[in-house]
Amino acid sequence: NRWTPANPHNDTRYPGIQFNMAVNDITSSMIENGSYMRLKTLTLSYNFPQVKFVKNLALFVTGTNLITITKYKGFDPEVSSFNQSLLQQGIDYGAYPTQKSCTFGLSCNF
């Protein structure tokens, strides 16, 4: 009973192949607990003792979004796919999860 050129109708219970869910189509069966705890940023650094030509030598590593603890079944509990839309905040349309990254660095003065 879906919409086709041979069977045109406006009954939304039988959507066509190209169907976009509107805010009004969301039901309570789609609600899930999105509680989470996340280690957002962690930086570890080591300052080496001063050597003849090198002053303030430091080695560091920074990790971002390293751990997320949640029972949420989607990719990411921070689900707002439409960052600018106030009507669709918190609706998970399968947005990519927040990326994890690790940065290593060396800092020194001569």
24: helix, strand or coil: helix
Closest among 41, 52, 45, 64 to 107, alpha carbons compared: 45
Mean pLDDT, residues 6-29: 62
Please give the backbone phi and psi of residue 30, each rounded to the nearest 5 degrees, phi first.
-95, 0
How far apart are the C-alpha atoms of 10 and 52, rounded to whole Å?
81
Q: Is the pLDDT of residue 25 over 80?
A: no
How high is the pLDDT of residue 106?
95
Residue-wise over 76-86: b if at least 16 C-beta within 10 A, else e?
bbbbeeeeeee
| Segment holding 36, helix H or strand E | strand 36-47
Any idea what DSSP says for residue 10? -
How high is the pLDDT of residue 10?
63
How far apart are the C-alpha atoms of 17 and 6, rounded to whole Å?
14
What number of other Cβ atoms are within 10 A of residue 20's Cβ?
A: 7
> Token pair of 57, please?
């030598």
How high is the pLDDT of residue 43?
97
Query: pLDDT of 44-101, one tens digit each?
Result: 999 999 888 888 899 999 999 999 999 988 888 887 655 556 666 667 777 778 899 9
